[in-house]
Structure 1
């Protein structure tokens, strides 16, 4: 089962991200969310949970794939050659952006946002996949409660990262806000009180959620020609560092947004 679990996990986390981002982006344009939106979100969550359970009871047989080609070698070679891009690829990406404003500025910003998010995710994938397949583990000699905490947030062992739980919290609150008619005042008109808005920061957090889940995926089995990796904890710690700057503001803004909405609604 390990040879397909990575793909199902990736499919599930993408469903969570795309359906969740749709819920965020359409908060102001719907009076109540259609059932299909949060059912799809729930399906994505179920796929992630079920796949992680399957992985706990299945084994990866290293000998079976020992002679299989590793695309990591091609990636490292590409990085060493200063990352050359095909002109055709650049054209395919840029041309839709050039023509989108003639149709709609809304379409332009949607495309730009999509490209930006895909760029963040791809950059995260490259960071995780580059280098040796088996990395040298640094001596993170922690003891006691610190060691227990670091093991709980070691994304090589499970896909349930901090951004995953916080993202679920944000999406559920958006859905309940519409269901219970308690509107959120998020100031998305260009003058947000918190420098960034909750929707924008939450969508960016979805990228971090996907990248964090990919750490688990690639350490559990092969994925699109990339052999199962043994990542060092350094890369996990870098993700934790990014979480401080991404998840921290989201949590604070979400708390103030919810408290403000409840205060206005009940008082």
Structure 2
């Protein structure tokens, strides 16, 4: 039952990320978002929350299975990522054909490809290496320990990226509902190094990776045995948050100030 809950959590966070990015990518293409778009986004969040509660009240059942797909993944990484050439052709073919239909379709596909690639890379980063890692270097006491436990994604899936992503998507939806255009300056001369849509979209991949830390730390996942990750993996997510969540929050605040 624990593994079922974690599979549901993974599905839920994917629904949240995909539906949220659809809202981001189509901001300029709709007058008002269809109800289904934010209902699906909300369903994804409910699934994540429900799966978390279920995982807390169910126990992990240790199996006699000794095969761990982590070993095959590590061998694949050590062999410099060999990939079937036909798979590469199938992946690249839509990008080659898209310009014959429209250039806008090509750019849309690129956005989704980058998002999917970022998610896969994040999950591989969490799965690679040893199943049981030494956590001795991350033992703290007192207030430091309490603070780190609040943002320890091995203990809960409610990461900073997820919370901020909800704020961004809520802002996009409300701006359409209240008829307040968000001036995100996505033209040729942006005020900032990045833009809110780009920053939020990349951040959603970090959101999926951070949630996956909880998933693999509490159960098996498609042949990958339950891991005991060190806090170093969590710190890698926090390192990404410094570069993604901070700028995204600033851009969101500045965007609302300029728009109002």
Which interval holds the TM-score relative to the shorter structure? over 0.9
Contact 2:6 2:55 in 1 (8 A): no
1:175 aligns with 2:167: no
Cα shift at 1:68: 4.8
Measure the CA separation in 1 of the matches of 2:55 and 2:61.
13
Deviation per CA, 1:2-30: give whole Å up to 9, x if none: 12112100110011011111111111111
| 1:209 match | 207
Measure the CA separation in 2 of the matches of 1:141 and 1:59.
26
| 1:37 match | 37
1:7 aligns with 2:18: no
Cα shift at 1:141: 3.3
Measure the CA separation in 1 of the matches of 2:16 and 2:200.
13
Measure the CA separation in 2 of the matches of 1:66 and 1:155.
27
Measure the CA separation in 2 of the matches of 1:44 and 1:128.
22
5+ long unaligned stretches in structure 2: none
Contact 1:134 1:229 in 2 (8 A): yes
Moved over 3 A (4+): none
Contact 1:138 1:233 in 2 (8 A): no
5+ long unaligned stretches in structure 1: 263-267
| 1:57 match | 57
Cα shift at 1:190: 2.6
CA-based RMSD: 1.1
Q: Which moved more, 1:142-151 or 1:238-247?
A: 142-151
| 1:87 match | 85
Cα shift at 1:158: 0.5
| 2:27 match | 27
Measure the CA separation in 1 of the matches of 2:217 and 2:139.
22
Measure the CA separation in 2 of the matches of 1:217 and 1:256.
34
Task: Name the CA shift for 1:58/1:189 in 2 (closer, same or farther; >3 Å).
Answer: same
| 2:120 match | 122
Q: Which moved more, 1:109-118 or 1:7-16?
A: 109-118
Q: Under a length normalisation based on structure 2, what TM-score does the superposition of the two structures give?
A: 0.97
Deviation per CA, 1:212-237: give whole Å up to 9, x if none: 11111111111111111111111110
Deviation per CA, 1:43-82: give whole Å up to 9, x if none: 00000000001111110011xx232521111101111212
Measure the CA separation in 1 of the matches of 2:189 and 2:11.
36
Q: Under a length normalisation based on structure 1, what TM-score does the superposition of the two structures give?
A: 0.95
Measure the CA separation in 2 of the matches of 1:181 and 1:127.
41
| 2:242 match | 244
Measure the CA separation in 1 of the matches of 2:207 and 2:139.
27
| 1:144 match | 142
Deviation per CA, 1:177-224: give whole Å up to 9, x if none: 111111110011232111111011101111000111111111111111
